[in-house]
A and B are shown apart, each in its own frame.
Chain A
């Protein structure tokens, strides 16, 4: 210092002296940070590759998942339709074919099928179909068809129903259990209504 006024350049020169001062980056800290940076970059690089495969850049979009699900459902539906179509292909083909006359007439003709017979047309060469006659069974054969067991009709008691009381227009009925004959006499004062 010789008393000369200080210039801005002097200040700047002093500041520039500070460029090389200060501690260097300690090696362990430097290495630690470098490894962390490279690890982060590697992860990021890998994720970028995955995203580029999907044709997406940047962040995950919900629309993408929705789209994927939609197309998966559509695909599953299409497969179901295809399998069903293959399994029931005959039925489906019949649905779309035009109906033949025989298909229409068959249900109409069926009830009269036993009575229907071919009418010979005079002059035609077609031989008259032979009528098949089913012979009746012989008396002995008929006897063999009769059941061997005989029933005593006297022992059979049929249940009888007796009118007991009227409730309004309704006729009350009491039933006698089978095996017991109803011996009670009807009340002459009460005439059963029809």
Chain B
């Protein structure tokens, strides 16, 4: 696998193997990110199509990514998902998305772990859109603070604050549940 800059160079030159590698590496990531936030297979597939077609469009105009391919692709995906949500008002069905039968043992784990189910539910009901996106990008997709800031289009400190507020809210939900159980 080529490093990011070599891959980026190949993509900018429309090198076939680089384009293959780009799609193979990033399409599944974008798909899962979209699936988690839209909860719909078709919508997630549409997001992937839109993201890669937008990438080609930007390359044609001589723009496109300059350094971080992954952050760039997530950024397009993020905007597509936001647009999609605004249009259809179909907000996240995160629980449905993560419950989709695929990774056998993990979905079973999810079924067994009530706390995980609670977190997923709280993400859907308690968090704002921006908090949900930031937590998803940071801890599920594994992006750094800088990358998340680039995707969302805010500065790092702002992202850090949004992340802290989101985590605090989830913690509060879990704490309340624990206290209810004890009581």
Q: Which residues on A are within 8 Å of B, measured CB to CB?
A: 1, 3, 5-8, 10-12, 14-26, 29-30, 33-34, 36-38, 40-42, 44-45, 47-48, 57-58
Distance, CA A22 to CA B27, complexed state (A): 15
Known: A16-B139, A48-B14. 20 other contacts (CB 8 A): A8-B167, A11-B119, A14-B119, A14-B170, A14-B174, A15-B135, A18-B119, A20-B103, A21-B106, A22-B35, A22-B102, A23-B35, A23-B97, A30-B27, A30-B31, A33-B27, A36-B49, A36-B52, A37-B52, A38-B23
The answer to whether A25 touches B140 (Cβ under 8 A) is no
Question: Quick check: A21 and B103 within 8 Å, CB to CB?
Answer: yes
Chain A nearest CB, measured from B58 CB (Å): 11
A23 to B44, CA, bound (A): 11
In the complex where A23-B41, A44-B59 touch, is A8 in contact with B48 (Cβ < 8 A)? Answer: no
Contact indicator B181/A6 (Cβ below 8 Å): no
In the bound assembly, the distance between CA atoms of A41 and B19 in angstroms comes to 8
Q: Would A18 and B20 count as touching, CB distance under 8 A?
A: no
Residue among B53, B119, B139, B174 with max Cβ neighbours from chain A (10 Å) = B139
Contact B116 A17 (CB under 8 A): yes
The majority secondary structure among interface residues of chain A is helix
A22-B100 in contact (CB<8A) = yes
Cα A5 to Cα B177 with chains together (Å):
11
CA distance A3 to B141 in the complex (A): 30
**In whole angstroms, how far apart are the Cα atoms of A19 and B120 in the complex?**
12
Shortest Cβ distance from residue B28 to the other chain A in the assembled complex, whole angstroms: 5
Q: Which residues of B (85-135) have their CB < 8 Å from a CB of A?
A: 97-98, 100-103, 106-107, 109-110, 113, 115-116, 119-120, 135
- Mask, B49-69, CB within 8 Å of A = 1, is 100110010011110000000
Contact B23 A37 (CB under 8 A): yes
Residues of B with Cβ closer than 8 Å to A?
14, 16, 19-20, 23-24, 27-28, 31-32, 35-36, 41, 45, 48-49, 52-53, 56, 59-62, 97-98, 100-103, 106-107, 109-110, 113, 115-116, 119-120, 135, 139-142, 164, 167-168, 170-171, 174-175, 178, 181-182
Contacts A22-B32, A23-B102 known; A33 to B170 CB distance under 8 Å?
Answer: no
Contacts of A8 in B (CB 8 A): 164, 167-168, 171
Contacts of A26 in B (CB 8 A): 41
Where chain B touches its partner, the secondary structure class is helix
- Whether A6 lies near B14 (C-beta < 8 A) is no
Q: What's the least CB distance linking B114 to chain A, in Å?
A: 9
Q: Say whether B32 contacts A38, CB under 8 Å.
A: no
Q: Are A1 and B178 in contact (CB under 8 A)?
A: yes
Question: Does A24 lie within 8 Å of B28, measured CB to CB?
Answer: yes
Q: Which residues of B contact A36 (CB under 8 A)?
A: 49, 52-53
Report chain A residues within 8 Å CB of B115. Answer: 1, 14
Residues of A within 8 A of B174 (CB): 6, 10-11, 14
CA distance A1 to B32 in the complex (A): 30
> Closest 8 CB pairs between A and B?
A45-B14, A15-B139, A23-B100, A23-B102, A21-B98, A25-B31, A37-B52, A25-B28
Instruction: Give the distance to chain A from B135, nearest Cβ to Cβ, in Å.
Output: 6
Q: Which residues of B contact A30 (CB under 8 A)?
A: 27-28, 31
Find chain A residues with CB under 8 A from B120 CB.
Answer: 18
Give chain A residues whose Cβ lies under 8 Å from the Cβ of B41: 23, 26, 29
State A20–B69 Cα separation when bound (angstroms): 21
